[in-house]
Amino acid sequence: MTRRHRHTSRERVPQAERAEAMRARLLDATISCLADLGYGRMSTNHIVRRAHVSRGALAHHFPTKADLLNAAAQRLIEGRATDFRERFGAIAVERRTTAEALAVLWSFYDDTGGVAMLELMVAARHNRELREVLGDMPDRVAELGMAVFAEFFPDLAALPFIDEALRSIHALYTGLALNALADGDPRGRGAEVRAFLKILIARVLATAPAPELAEA
């Protein structure tokens, strides 16, 4: 392929698509930097190096750091809907147990996106613009999880207390993930708590009324 042909091929990509691809590249780099470096250590220099773009490209798409972080937060939240469906859907029907459901829910707090969201939530304490974006994030994530959970675990979703249970689990997992950010959880305390949670939920379910009786 000649240089002229390569140049022509690039020009065929609509400018809007190139711009969107660049934005996604910058946002993914931001999310990765948040997870790896933390909000306090991360700088725009880290982001442009990881995205392999110029500072001018960053400034063009996101004039301020607040613009960039707000967009990254939105991308994280919106991406969770797809993530929930993909991860729950990957569980074989015969393995859709409460233990598997808890493991999948925890995976959202133990990956790059989960760590980045925690970093933004902590940063939002002293950043009004981030608070405006992230203020309802726990509720939005819980609602997304509930909608997909009901699709793949209809029997559990029919229990009268499931909404409160899921919100409690999200709150617990957030706390465990924050603890792990501080010390890396070298003693495995998080795993012990999650194991206890499985036992506790199994006992609750063993005494819970059947969904059809609860609705009567």
Q: What is the pLDDT of residues 110-120, one digit of tens each?
A: 899 989 988 98
For tokens 């700088």, name the residue.
Answer: 43
Task: Count how many Cα atoms sit within 13 Å of the Cα of residue 132 in the half-sphere of its side chain.
Answer: 8
- Higher per-residue pLDDT: 7 or 82: 82
Q: What is the pLDDT of residues 115-147, one digit of tens each?
A: 998 898 888 888 887 888 777 777 777 787 788
Q: Which long-range contacts (CB under 8 A, 24 or more apart) does 90-93 make?
A: 91/152
Could you tell me the two tokens for 164? 């409160």
Domain ranges across the chain: 1-63, 73-215
Predicted confidence at residue 11, as pLDDT, reads 54
Predicted confidence at residue 2, as pLDDT, reads 52
Could you tell me the two tokens for 146? 């509930």
SS3 117: helix
CATH 1.10.10.60 fits 1-63, yes or no: yes
Q: Residue 85: pLDDT band by 50, 70, 90 thresholds?
A: confident
pTM: 0.79
- Are 119 and 180 a contacting pair, CB within 8 Å? no
Could you tell me the two tokens for 95? 């393995």
Predicted confidence at residue 214, as pLDDT, reads 41
